């Protein structure tokens, strides 16, 4: 009888050892088996150019408050490679600008006011820029700062939510530009562009908010 009990105990120990190889202990985790690990998604990398479409045919209309010129329209009239030529009208004047976009920055390289019938500067071999205003700068993380002209710029958030007549936009890039007298806050949505701009100076507040837009394919 004693020997029978010893054999029985040995069988129980062997069975317990076999179970522990197949099941994780309570509160523990099972060791992944080779070939059974699920692939992990690659995090999306945010790039400056993603927030500033430049394809010809794209257009935006902004509803303004606080100033008669706060409402304006913007359209891309020409595009080539990583440059887009924009025409902007606020009801009082029409301006022309050329923006250059890449993964690290969006830069306005040319600006001219009172340009009602702009030529295609992107096809002009003699074209040279007259500006170097950095609109968006990588890395696209809260706290990134840079100087552009007389403005100190900073990415405040990459997760702002903005309600506009054109819709609700989430995960917006929020950028502040400060001078001693004013603060301009702009919100950019990936694949859409500028969705709202706020200008504050003292007690004055002027806003331009996206009301409709078309992004060319």
CA distance 81 to 58: 15
CA-nearest of 210, 148, 205, 156 to 182 is 205
Reduced to 3 states (helix: H, G, I; strand: E, B; else coil), residue 146 is strand
Beta carbons of 31 and 170 less than 8 angstroms apart:
no
Spatial contact of 183 and 173, defined as CB atoms under 8 Å apart: no
Helix (H) or strand (E) holding 6: helix 2-20
User: What pLDDT, on the 0 to 100 scale, is given for residue 44?
Assistant: 61
Looking at residue 88, its pLDDT comes to 97
Confidence bin at 46 (pLDDT 50/70/90): confident
Is the N-terminal amide bond of 139 cis, ω within 30° of 0? yes
Tell me if 195 sits within 8 A of 209, measured CB to CB. yes
Residue 82: phi and psi, rounded to 5, are -105, 25
The whole-number average pLDDT for the span 71-96 is: 97
Mean predicted confidence (pLDDT) in 42-64: 90
Phi-psi region of 176 (alpha: psi -120 to 50; beta: other; left: phi over 0): beta
Read off the pLDDT band of 104 (50, 70, 90). Answer: very high
Nearest 5°: phi and psi at 7? -65, -40
Length reported for the chain: 217
pLDDT for residue 57 is more than 50: yes
What backbone phi and psi angles, to 5 degrees, belong to 51? Answer: -100, 5
Confidence of residue 79 (pLDDT cuts 50, 70, 90): very high
Is residue 164's pLDDT more than 80?
A: yes
pLDDT tens by residue, 170-184: 999 999 999 999 999
pLDDT greater than 50 at residue 90: yes
In the predicted model, is pLDDT for residue 72 greater than 70?
yes
pLDDT band at 210 (very low <50, low <70, confident <90, very high): very high
Q: Which domains does the chain have, with CATH numbers?
A: 48-214 (2.40.360)
């Amino acid at each position: 009888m004693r020997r029978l009990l010893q054999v029985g105990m040995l069988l129980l120990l062997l069975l317990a050892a076999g179970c522990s190889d197949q099941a994780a202990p309570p509160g523990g985790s099972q060791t992944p088996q080779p070939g059974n690990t699920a692939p992990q998604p690659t995090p999306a990398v945010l790039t400056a150019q993603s927030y500033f479409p430049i394809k010809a045919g794209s257009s935006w209309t902004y509803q303004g408050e606080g100033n008669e010129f706060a409402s304006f329209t913007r359209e891309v009239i020409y595009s080539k490679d990583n440059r887009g030529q924009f025409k902007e009208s606020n009801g009082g004047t029409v301006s022309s600008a050329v923006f250059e976009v890449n993964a690290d920055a969006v830069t306005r390289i040319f600006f001219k006011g009172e340009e009602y019938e702009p030529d295609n500067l992107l096809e002009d071999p003699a074209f040279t820029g007259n500006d170097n205003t950095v609109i968006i700068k990588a890395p696209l993380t809260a706290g990134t700062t840079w100087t552009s002209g007389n403005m100190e710029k900073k990415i405040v958030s990459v997760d702002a939510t903005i309600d506009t007549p054109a819709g609700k936009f989430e995960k917006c890039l929020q950028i502040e530009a400060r001078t001693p007298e004013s603060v301009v806050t702009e919100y950019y949505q990936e694949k859409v562009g500028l969705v709202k701009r706020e200008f504050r100076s003292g007690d004055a507040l002027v806003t331009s908010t996206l009301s409709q837009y078309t992004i060319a394919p």
